[in-house]
A and B are shown apart, each in its own frame.
Chain A
Amino acid sequence: MARFLLTRALQALFTLWVVVSLVFLLIHATGDPIAVLAPQQMNAHDRAILRAALGLDQPLTVQYFRYWAGVLHGNLGVSYYSGQPAMRLILERVPVTLELVGLSIGVAVLLGVPFGIWAAVRPDGVADRVLRNLSVLGSSVPTFFLGILLIYVFSVAFNILPASGAGGLQHFIMPAFTLAFFRIALFTRLVRSTLLETLNQNHVRTARAKGVSEPVVILKHALRTALLPLVTVFGLQFGQLFAGAVITETIFALPGMNRMALQALYRLDYPIILAYVLVVAAMFVTINFLVDMAYGLLDPRVRDHG
Chain B
Amino acid sequence: MGRFSRPPLLPTIILALLILAAVFAPLIAPHDPEQQSLLMRLTPPAWVQGGTWRYPLGTDGLGRDVASNIIYGLRVSLLAGIVSVAISVLLGGIAGLIAGAAADGWFDTVLMRLVDIQLSIPVVLIALAVLALTGRGLGKVILVIGLVGWAQYARLVRASVLAERRKDYVLAARLLGASRRRVIFRHLLPNVLGPLFVQISVDIPRAVELEASLSFLGLGVAVTTPSLGLRIAQGYQYLFSGAWWPSVLPGLALVLLVLCENLIGDWVRDVLDPHYRRRRKSRIPAAPAPTDPAPTERTLP
A→B interface (CB under 8 Å):
18-19, 23, 26-27, 30-31, 123-124, 136-137, 139-145, 148-149, 151-152, 155-156, 163, 179, 181-182, 186, 190, 192-193, 196-197, 200, 233, 236, 239-248, 250, 262, 265-266, 268, 284
Nearest 6 A/B pairs, CB to CB: A244-B301, A243-B122, A193-B285, A140-B259, A30-B133, A145-B251
Question: How many angstroms between the C-alpha atoms of A144 and B124 in the bound complex?
Answer: 13
Q: Tally inter-chain residue pairs, CB-CB below 8 A.
A: 133
- Contacts A136-B262, A179-B301, A266-B132; is A142 near B209 (CB within 8 Å)? yes
> Across the interface, do B301 and A243 meet the contact criterion of CB distance under 8 Å?
yes
Q: Which residues of A contact B133 (CB under 8 A)?
A: 26-27, 30-31, 268
Question: Given that A143-B301, A262-B217 are contacting pairs, would A246 and B247 also be in contact in the complex, using a CB cutoff of 8 Å?
Answer: no
* B254 at the binding interface (Cβ < 8 Å): yes
> Are B242 and A156 within 8 A (Cβ)?
yes
Chain B's closest residue to A233 (CB) is B295
Contacts of B299 in A (CB 8 A): 139-143, 181-182
Q: Which residue of A lies closest to B117 (CB)?
A: A18
SS of B interface (majority): helix
Q: Given A156-B239, A239-B122, A245–B129 Cβ distance below 8 Å?
A: no
Neighbour of B283 across the interface among A123, A140, A149, CB < 8 A? A123
Q: Is the CB of A197 within 8 A of B284?
A: yes
Most buried by A among B128, B216, B247, B266: B216
Q: Does B168 count as interface, using CB distance less than 8 angstroms?
A: no
CB atoms of B284 and A144 under 8 A apart: no
Could you tell me the distance between the alpha carbons of A151 and B251 in the complex, rounded to whole angstroms? 14
Interface contact A136-B300, CB-CB below 8 Å: no
Mask, B202-224, CB within 8 Å of A = 1, is: 00010001001100110000000
8 more contacts with CB within 8 A, not counting A139-B299, A149-B251, are: A140-B262, A141-B258, A142-B255, A148-B232, A196-B284, A244-B297, A246-B301, A250-B217
Selected from B117, B209, B239, the residue in CB contact (under 8 A) with A148 is B239
